[in-house]
């Protein structure tokens, strides 16, 4: 297969040495440029965690519970509606510019809210507006974040970088909310918003000094889309690319199936199970905490191990195993066994998720990564949450155990799809020195 070099389009992030990663060759966890990006990403995740705590408590102090729910859900609407468009923006203007702009806008927005709360007592309309704007920025930010890793490291370091990213995510989810609660207790909502805005601000200079690699020339072939047109044309190009790609398409589809099957048990099923078994909120905390520890362990494992052989086969095996262990939590007769199941599920699913993302990112044309990431994110943030009412109704009718098993079986269909697809079954990650 031959390649044809083309210049980077106007408005893209500036390229460096063609065909080379942005940083020096070597392990990603020893690359100062990667660590700088990881620090910025961690600060941004911490800002997210603090922001959501501040928004929830600020709304709760000025509105009834139903209105609080509307405020918290307000950001999800533009996030889901504009996610695919965010992928187009990331690919057109370059992911680095979009991520820098996203954190800069979020910093200014949240600091302005902190100032407004300190100087006056604005109504619920301010919080709802902030949630909507934050959701719009998220729709642009998330695809761009997903498109950055392949521009930061060599192809053989993608798995290691995904492990590092998973550790950052766990840090954000574990440390962010308590930080927000502490700020609320010490200085009220304005202090929590100020802390969130400050964390977003910290990420901006780190991102500005982060170097990314060039946009490699696209591979020539009959399946490649035509020249760029308007935004709608680019969106259709991206969707067509995902659908036609022999590896990316099946992996994205299986990931969507898995997400739909697992999101119910993980996000609301564990709460309902803890209530049904009499374990209470503390029992739920132990199970979800164990899941987080397992997921952090998988991130550490991928960071240390780096490339895994027979990645496609391992991805299928871990998806099957992770679905099975989550389903078995619904049958656990004691809290101890449920906690052990949560730990094992977090570890196995974390490996599966890291491999899936690494396989997709290493196989995708870099100029489509924003749109590919947007399609992946849309499932988790748009489609999957629609399962919550159905899952809750089913638990009320049949109890948690059979619903957990049914959801896990549905998730396992994603593994079955990959098992029946030769391109995913035999997929390999790039080895050291791969172009």
Q: Based on DSSP, count helices (H) and strands (E) in the chain, helices before strands.
A: 17, 0
pLDDT value of residue 289: 87
pLDDT in tens, 138-187: 999 999 988 888 889 888 888 899 899 989 988 888 888 888 888 888 88
- What's residue 118's pLDDT? 86
Same domain, 75 and 186: yes
Residue 431 included in any domain: no
Same domain, 328 and 251: yes
**pLDDT band at 218; cut points 50, 70, 90:** low
- Per-residue pLDDT of 57-69, as tens digits, reads 888 777 776 677 7
**Domain residues for 188?**
28-208
Go through 195-208 and write b for each residue having 16 or more CB atoms within 10 A of its CB, e for each that does not: bbbbbbbbbbebbe
* Helix pair angle (124-147, 369-378), 10° resolution: 130
pLDDT of residue 23: 43
pLDDT in tens, 67-103: 777 777 778 788 888 899 999 999 999 899 999 999 9
Summarize the confidence of residues 8-13 as an average pLDDT: 40
Q: What is the pLDDT of residue 25?
A: 53
pLDDT tier, 39 (very low <50, low <70, confident <90, very high otherwise)? very high
The reply to whether 122 and 248 lie within a common domain is: no
Q: Structural domain tally of the chain?
A: 2
Same domain, residue pair 249 and 394: yes
pLDDT tens track for 297-324: 999 999 888 778 899 999 999 999 999 9
Q: What is the mean pLDDT of residues 339-364?
A: 93
> What's the chain's average pLDDT?
84
Domain boundary among the residues 193, 208, 223 is at 208
Which domain-ending residue is among 208, 243, 259?
208
Share of the chain above pLDDT 70, in %: 87
For residue 12, the model assigns a pLDDT of 44
Q: Is the pLDDT of residue 207 over 90?
A: yes
User: Is 354:166 a contact under the CB 8 Å cutoff?
Assistant: yes
- pLDDT at residue number 377: 84
Q: Could you tell me if 182 and 284 lie in one domain?
A: no
CA nearest 266: which of 385, 398, 374?
Answer: 385
Of the pLDDT bands very low, low, confident and very high (cuts 50, 70, 90), residue 429 is confident
Cα gap 226→418, rounded to integer Å: 29
Q: Can you tell me the mean pLDDT for 35-39?
A: 94
Name which residue leads in pLDDT, 226 or 41: 41
Model-level pTM greater than 0.85?
no
Q: Residue 228's pLDDT is what?
A: 52
* pLDDT(219) > 70: no
Same domain for 306 and 203: no
Looking at residue 373, which CATH number applies to its domain? Answer: 1.20.1250.20
Is the four-CA dihedral 26, 27, 28, 34 of positive or negative sign? negative
Cα distance between residue 51 and residue 314, in whole Å: 37
**Alpha-carbon distances of 381 from 81, 84, 150, 233, rounded to whole Å:** 10, 12, 23, 24
424 pLDDT above the threshold of 50? yes
User: DSSP of 179-226, one letter per residue?
Assistant: HHHHHHHHHHHHHHHHHHHHHHHHHHHHHHT------PPPBP-TTS--
Q: What percent of the chain is predicted at pLDDT more than 90?
A: 45
* Contact status, residue 242 vs residue 371, Cβ threshold 8 Å: yes
106 within some domain: yes
Is the separation of the CB atoms in 346 and 301 below 8 Å?
no
C-alpha to C-alpha distances, 52 to 46, 74, 126, 285, nearest whole angstrom: 10, 12, 15, 19
**Per-residue burial over 161-183, b = 16 or more CB atoms within 10 Å of its CB, e = otherwise:** bbbbbbbbbbbbbeebbebbbeb
User: pLDDT tens for residues 125-146?
Assistant: 888 899 999 999 999 999 998 8
């Amino acid at each position: 297969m031959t390649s044809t070099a083309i210049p980077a389009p106007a408005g893209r992030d500036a390229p460096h040495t063609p065909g080379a990663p942005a940083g020096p060759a070597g392990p990603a966890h020893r690359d100062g440029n990667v660590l700088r990006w990881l620090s910025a990403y961690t600060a941004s995740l911490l800002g997210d965690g603090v922001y959501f705590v501040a928004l929830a408590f600020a709304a709760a102090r000025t509105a009834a519970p139903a209105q609080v729910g509307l405020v918290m859900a307000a950001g999800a609407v533009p996030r889901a509606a504009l996610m695919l468009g965010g992928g187009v923006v990331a690919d057109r203007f370059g992911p680095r510019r979009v991520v820098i702009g996203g954190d800069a806008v979020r910093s200014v927005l949240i600091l302005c809210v902190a100032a407004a709360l300190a100087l006056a007592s604005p109504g619920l309309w301010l919080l709802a507006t902030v949630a909507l704007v934050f959701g719009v920025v998220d729709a642009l930010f998330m695809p761009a974040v997903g498109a950055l890793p392949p521009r930061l490291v060599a192809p053989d370091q993608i798995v290691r970088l995904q492990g590092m990213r998973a550790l950052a995510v766990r840090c954000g989810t574990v440390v962010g909310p308590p930080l927000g609660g502490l700020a609320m207790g010490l200085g009220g909502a304005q202090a929590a918003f100020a802390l969130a805005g400050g964390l977003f601000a910290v990420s901006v200079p780190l991102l500005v000094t982060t170097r990314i690699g060039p946009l490699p020339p696209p591979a020539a072939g009959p399946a490649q889309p035509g020249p760029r047109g308007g935004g709608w044309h680019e969106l259709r190009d991206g969707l067509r690319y995902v659908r036609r790609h022999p590896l990316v398409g099946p992996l994205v589809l299986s990931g969507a199936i898995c997400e739909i099957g697992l999101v119910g048990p993980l996000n609301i099923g564990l709460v309902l199970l803890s209530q049904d078994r009499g374990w209470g909120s503390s029992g739920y905390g132990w199970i979800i905490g164990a899941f987080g520890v397992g997921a952090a362990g998988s991130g550490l494992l991928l960071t240390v191990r780096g490339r895994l052989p027979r990645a496609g086969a391992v991805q299928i095996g871990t998806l099957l195993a992770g679905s099975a262990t989550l389903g078995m939590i619904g049958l656990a007769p004691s809290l101890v066994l449920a906690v052990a199941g949560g730990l094992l599920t977090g570890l196995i699913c974390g490996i599966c998720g890291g491999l899936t993302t690494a396989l997709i990112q290493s196989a995708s044309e870099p100029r489509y990564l924003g749109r590919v990431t947007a399609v992946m994110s849309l499932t988790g943030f748009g489609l999957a949450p629609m399962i919550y009412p159905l899952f809750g109704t089913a638990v009320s009718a049949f109890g948690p155990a059979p619903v957990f098993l049914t959801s896990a079986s549905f998730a396992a269909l994603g593994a079955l799809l990959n098992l029946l697809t030769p391109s995913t079954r035999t997929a390999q990650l790039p080895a050291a020195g791969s172009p």
